[in-house]
Structure 1
Amino acid sequence: MPGQFRHLAAELAKNPAYRVVFLTRREGVTMPNVITARYPLKEAPPPPAEPLVRSIAQSVNFGAAVAKAAVDMANKNIVPDLIIAHPGWGEALFLRDAWPHAKIVTYGEYYYQPYDGDIGFDPLFPRTLQGVCNARIMNANLLLSHEAADAMISPTHWQKSRHPQFLQDKTTVIFDGIDTDRAAPSPDATFNLGNGTTLTAKDEVITYVARNLEPHRGFHVFVEALPKLLAARPNARIIVVGGDERSYSPPPRGGHESWRSALMSGVDLGQAADRVHFVGKLAYADYLSLLQISGAHLYLTYPFVLSWSCLEAMSAGCAIVASDTAPVAEVITHEQNGLLVPFFDSDALVASVCRLLDDPVLSERLRQSARQTAVTRYNLADCLKQQLAFVNTVLAT
């Protein structure tokens, strides 16, 4: 909580005709005019011996906990007209059974396919029968949840396209929304490294951002490019934002606790190491300041869920070098609002960064176009209008 529904819940709560309840297992999270209801999650039973069944068991544990909370709420006369749910963890599994007369909208973030997505994309994780079977079973929870829904909403056309056709038929594409007024260019921005050094847009700064540093977001390609970037740009500072947990990728091998540890352990940056700064996860204001001073911003991803950070970087007016993968190509067109490179080609990545840093005219043109794309297609005000219209349509049918 609130995840993808932060802005929509807040906007709905502004209407005195609505009572908005956020059902979550998180503690200590509140939103103005939004009632927070918690569901306790029982301790999960021992995992089944059959690995393929484990994701189902976990989803059922979540779904059953939400269903129990829903029945308790119904007994207190909390009976929703509309439910909006992210089905990824199983929380939406039994909503139709707990509240049979409610309209239900599910969030179509991703649906696993054996080809043309993240499965088998990277030679680091070859496609296997076991992996494909596991993904199919992971879809079972999504299928049950989406099938019970009256309508679905998906943030991008590519993410919608991953779903079976009968689910696409009831899916509307509306992006979550970027606050383009807040994530905006600022020529006076500064970023403090925490060691007494303050950087501005006059410094040569290369940025890489991911929620967590892992292969799904191209961290291994970035690490391969890192020595080449440092050699090619002797005055550059490289700022890396992201945590050491895992969001999407399998755990690293060799006993390493994180992908950063696994990948950086074999890299000798020599004296240039002091120009690389791993700053962890940043407060949002600091993160935006970093984007605002970036000379070249890197965004890499498997064919997978598109990151908010990609659109935030565009909104902040970054000159972006990104992977030429399907979700990225929906928002970035090569040489129009960014530069695209093959995901695994670290040499092309370095060459494109150098091209941006050496050509201020190109850089400025791409920055302005990236900003324009974010403002015209993904700004929060317009996305909220579309989401509210969608909600009203679902309620009216």
Structure 2
Amino acid sequence: MRVLLIHQNFPGQFRHIAASWAGRPGWQVLGLGRESAPGLPGISCIRYRLHRPPNREQHHYLRQMEQAVLHGQAVARALLGLKAQGYRPDIVIAHPGWGETLYLKDVYPDARLIHFCEWFYRNQEADWAFDPEFPSTFDDRARVRTWNALHTLNLENCDAGVSPTRWQHSRHPAAYRDKIAVIHEGIETEGLAPDPEARLTLKDGTSLRAGDPVITYVARNLEPYRGFHVFMRALELIQRRHKRCHALIVGGDEVSYGKRPKDAPNWREKMLREVSLDPARTHFLGKLPYDVYRKVLQVSAAHVYLTYPFVLSWSMLEAMASGCLLIASRTEPVQEVVRHGENGVLADFFDREAIAARTVEALEAPADFAGLRERARIETSRRYCRVEAVARFGAFLDVEGNAPVARADSAEVAAAAGGAFPG
């Protein structure tokens, strides 16, 4: 069985299935990514390079599409080279969001193509219309509608798709949902667990340990899509009410989603201008090595996770696997996993008062929330572990490794793959 995995940042979400399938007798796994892709030890990876940058004068509605064409062209060139050497994949699994697979079927028409269907933009009922503090303009909405041309082409081109959550699945057009299964890509839960002896010493000499009143917040980058602006406003209230708590804030100053602030270099600096925080108890840690990140979660007394109605973050699941008490936004992707009062605490995304109150309660009476922590770790996070993900993804393929072209009902597709994760 020859499996080709395509991701511009290979391995990306395919880390676990790539490692598992590479160890199967008779299976050949090949990765393909951009020249900056980190790769995965033990798996060969072909890297491609765009032959030119996008045209600066391109209409801004079409910039993403031009980027996609450049990615698709570069991948097609790499695939034509592989084909000339005799390589023929049986199945291709790809994240198509950057356009890599636009021309794959023109090179390998007989290969079964499965897309990782992460997101389909909506102008209503999702991220773009969610936050009144940052209202979208007609120009924004027109640009997003044009972006979806790429995602619609991707849905049309693939034989089947996989979406990590029911919420993400539901964002795709109804006409294509029956070819998309709901299977999470899995997180590395094996190395995540509570440690009552955990201790973290910061660069300024501050030493924190499990049991201390520590608030944690994690995002790839600190920005409104992950509720950073709301968290900072809530933190101001928390520090006024709890004089000993410390906040550990993990994330970079770049932009993963949305836009940069107009009046500051980044959202961290903008929010520090707006709120009044105790600098001795507010620790911006940037992006961390995994071992340090794990310690941050282990010393957490209250982990705040906020998000727009958008892609669910791995960090929320990793926090639950680490035994954190989750204080999270009552938004669709979160509510698929977190049940208020059972495995976490929910508050309205915009309600800084409620977020602050729930956090202070957690800091002052940690024993009252022990059951929630345990259920989050034992009953919830394990559904999203890599072993479950690999098994469900494998069940999605038939014995020959071919993806089903389509099913009559998306629920049947999910059931064939082991069922959607219960929420």
User: C-alpha distance in 1, partners of 2:195/2:164?
Assistant: 27
Could you tell me which amino acid in structure 2 is paired with residue 395 of structure 1? N
Bigger RCO of structures 1 and 2 (CA < 8 A, at least 6 apart): 2
Equivalent residues of 1:357, 1:363 under 8 A apart = no
Report the Cα offset of residue 203 of structure 1.
1.4
Pick from 42, 61, 72 the counterpart of residue 52 of structure 1. Answer: 61
Match for residue 20 of structure 2? Answer: 11
Query: How far, CA to CA, are the matches of 1:145 and 1:54 in structure 2?
Result: 17
Tell me by how many angstroms 1:314 deviates: 0.5
1:168-179 residue pairs with structure 2 within 5 A?
Answer: 168-179=177-188
TM-score, normalised with respect to structure 1: 0.96
Moved segments of 4+, more than 6 Å: none
2:374 equivalent among 348, 362, 368: 368
The alpha-carbon deviation at position 124 of structure 1 amounts to 2.4
Moved more, 353-362 or 96-105: 353-362
- Which residue number in structure 1 is paired with residue 29 of structure 2? 20
**Is this contact kept in 2: 1:113–1:119, CA < 8 A?**
yes
User: Sequence identity, in percent?
Assistant: 43
**Letter aligned with residue 266 of structure 2:** S
Distance across 1 between alignment mates of 2:44 and 2:58: 40
Residues 106 and 285 from structure 1, CA distance in 2 versus in 1: closer, same or farther, beyond 3 angstroms? same
Corresponding position of 1:260: 268
Provide the secondary structure at the position in 2 that maps to 1:51: coil
Aligned-pair CA distance for 1:101: 0.8
Question: What TM-score, normalized to structure 2?
Answer: 0.90
Q: Which residue of 2 aligns with 1:297?
A: 303
Q: Aligned partners of 1:356 and 1:321: how far apart in 2?
A: 9
Question: What is the CA distance between 1:157 and its match in structure 2?
Answer: 0.6
Deviation of residue 130 (structure 1)? 1.6
Take 2:231 and 2:124, find their aligned partners in 1: how far apart are those partners? Answer: 24
Q: Does residue 320 of structure 1 match 2:326?
A: yes
Distance 2:244 2:54 in 1: 55
Q: Supply the distance in 2 between the matched residues of 1:396 and 1:111 (Cα, whole angstroms).
A: 21
Residues matched between the structures, number: 394
User: 3-state DSSP class of the match of 1:50?
Assistant: coil
- The answer to whether the aligner puts 1:134 opposite 2:143 as a matched pair is yes
Q: Is the 8 A contact 2:37 2:47 kept in 1?
A: no
Question: Aligned equivalents of 2:249 and 2:238: distance in 1?
Answer: 13
Amino acid at match of 2:117: G
Which of 228, 240, 245 aligns to 1:231? It is 240
Which residue in the other structure is 2:402 paired with?
A: 395
Aligned residue in 2 for 1:274 = 280
- For structure 1, the residue ranges without an aligned partner over 5 or more in a row are none
Matched to 1:297, the amino acid is: H
8 Å CA contact 2:48–2:75 kept in 1: the answer is yes
The residue correspondences of 1:147-166 to structure 2 (distance < 5 A) are: 147-166=156-175
Whether 2:191 is the aligned partner of 1:185: answer no
Please report how far the alpha carbon of residue 268 of structure 1 lies from its aligned counterpart in structure 2 after TM superposition.
2.9
Q: CA deviation at 1:293?
A: 1.1
Which amino acid in the other structure matches residue 343 of structure 2?
Answer: N
Q: Does structure 2 conserve the Cα–Cα contact (< 8 Å) formed by 1:8 and 1:384? A: yes
Structure 1 position 357, deviation (Å):
1.8
Please name the residue that 2:38 is paired with: 29
Residues 185-230 of structure 1: CA distance to partner in whole angstroms, max 9, x if unpaired? Answer: 1112111212222211131100011000000000000111121111
